[in-house]
Amino acid sequence: MAIEEDPKQKKQCEILEDLPGVGPATAQRLKELGFNTVESLATATVKELEAAGIGEKKALEVVRAARGGMELSFIHADELLKMREKILRLSTGSKAIDALLEGGLETQTITEFYGEFGSGKSQICHQLCVNAQLPRERGGLAGGALYIDTENTFRTERVIKMAEHLGLDPNEVIKNIIFAEAYNSDHQILLLNNADKIIKENNIRLIIVDSLTAHFRSEYLGREMLAERQQKLNKHMHKLIRLSQAFNAVAVVTNQVMAKPDVFFGDAIHPIGGHIVAHTSHTRFYLRKSSRGPLRIARLESSPALPEGEAVFKVTVNGIEDLTEDDELEGRRKR
Ligand SMILES: Nc1ncnc2c1ncn2[C@@H]1O[C@H](COP(=O)(O)OP(=O)(O)O)[C@@H](O)[C@H]1O
Ligand SMILES: [Mg+2]
């Protein structure tokens, strides 16, 4: 039996109070926990609801009802394939990067871009906010974007430039981007935990956390705080995965790097966040600057089903672009 939702049940359960066993008091408690929609509740865990003082039995009942009255169960791989057909792809604006991904960033999983300051992480995030609004046949998701900014680097002016370059109405484009600045890691967690209603009401198909790790890195110092930091990061990323699944959205996080001394090869560059971030990001890119001005190199380091590879792209006034023939020629001359 597949996890297909019963359409009748789904129709009845538009809001939390429609779910069997959910009265106004329970609905209020669920909302306080950040579960404002039936969709987000469908990917909740019983433990999370218990934290709000909802008994285990009731929690199980509520989550099951939100899933459309069906229990999650084992399915055949061909059904899994059918579920994967729902996955959409979002173009990065660079054909070279899209080719590494066989089309673009996938919905329902997290894609991570890590790299040094100025390597183009935030520029890619800006471009994705615009691209998400393109129709499907142009590599978009025909939806809006949610941008959680922790470093105060989001610039509406950049989005306007990129939108104009793609022939979109910039005023429309900026209206479809919901922006929030996170002041510290707790605020960042809170914003995401309460994002479900905004995502649903605004047809959000792209959720960005830029940067995922900056606040955590500066607030949790020293070894004794590491375990707590990792635990919080883990929960935060899982919330992000579940939102991306519930709303068939692309999730993107950026990450900084640190240099670790390496015995044989000098300093090696490592992304922040250790195993937790590495294993929770399904697709991981390492971005670096090249010696040639606006050119950047994106290395696909890990993906569940694609080989590693590298692509060269450009950050220009128009956004993320592919190299021109002249760029390629110049590159060959320099080699
Ligand atoms: N308007 C622009 N025109 C051309 N290049 C730009 C423009 N804005 C930013 N860039 C390029 O993007 C770089 C910043 O990239 P960014 O994505 O902010 O880096 P980070 O990886 O730190 O997030 C700048 O150093 C510059 O090379
Ligand atoms: Mg940045």
Q: For residue range 25-39, what is the model confidence (pLDDT) as tens digits?
A: 889 989 988 899 988
The kind and range of the H/E element at 312 are strand 309-316
The pLDDT confidence band at residue 1, using thresholds 50, 70 and 90, is: very low
- Which whole number is the average pLDDT over 202-219? 97
Q: Is the minimum distance from the CB of 119 to ligand 1 under 6 angstroms?
A: yes
Fill in the amino acid letter for 16: L
Highest-confidence segment of 43-47, 123-127, 268-272: 123-127
Percent of the chain with pLDDT over 90: 63
Q: Is the minimum distance from the CB of 176 to ligand 1 under 6 angstroms?
A: no
pLDDT at 112 > cutoff 70: yes
Count, residues in the chain? 335
- Which whole number is the average pLDDT over 43-70? 82
- Which whole number is the average pLDDT over 142-155? 98
Of the bound ligands, which one is closest to the alpha carbon of residue 160? 1
Ligand 1, atom 13: closest residue by C-alpha: 118
Query: Ramachandran region of residue 228, left (φ > 0), alpha (ψ -120 to 50) or beta?
Result: alpha
Partners of 296 in the beta sheet? Answer: 289, 313
Distance (Å, whole) CA 91 – CA 63: 34
Q: Tell me the pLDDT tens digit for each residue of 222-243.
A: 889 999 999 999 999 999 999 9
pTM beyond 0.85, yes or no? yes
pLDDT at 265 > cutoff 80: no
